[in-house]
Amino acid sequence: LHQARYEREKHLQRRPRNLATMPEVGILSQRAKNRPNPIGVTAVEIMDVGRDFLEVWGLDAIDGTPVLDIKPYYPHFDRVENPRVPEWVNRLMEGYF
């Protein structure tokens, strides 16, 4: 994310993964790194807690990246069961993993 570049003319809409078989949709409906709101979210493992620090593992950031917020991970809230998604999302994810 720290290397993402945003150009208004190019990045507000695009085809997911630039695939011709996908519809052109807004960038906020995708997981692309080049976004008009370059804020990353990462779930991390807490390794140590001090009076004025948290040591974590798995943070997707480089040294000096500001941390804007820290929230607990609650599987009850942070995961959606049976979400409704556009049909193109299901097509995009077929055979993805």
Cα of 57 vs its chain's centroid, Å: 18
| Three-point CA angle 86, 13, 90, nearest 5° | 20
pTM of the model: 0.51
Total count of domains within the chain: 1
**Calpha distance 88→22 (Å, rounded):** 6
For residue 12, is it within any domain?
A: yes
Q: Evaluate whether residue 29 is within a structural domain.
A: yes
Residue 68 lies in a domain: yes
- Half-sphere CA count of 32, side-chain side, radius 13 A: 21
Q: What does the pLDDT profile of the chain (97 residues) look like in tens digits?
A: 566 665 655 668 889 988 999 999 988 888 777 777 767 788 888 999 999 999 999 888 888 888 888 887 777 667 767 878 889 999 999 988 7
**CATH code, domain with 84:** 2.40.30.70
DSSP 54: E
Domain contains 22: yes
Alpha helices in the chain (DSSP H): 8-11, 75-78, 87-93
**Has residue 3 been placed in a domain?**
no
- Domain span at residue 24 reads 8-93
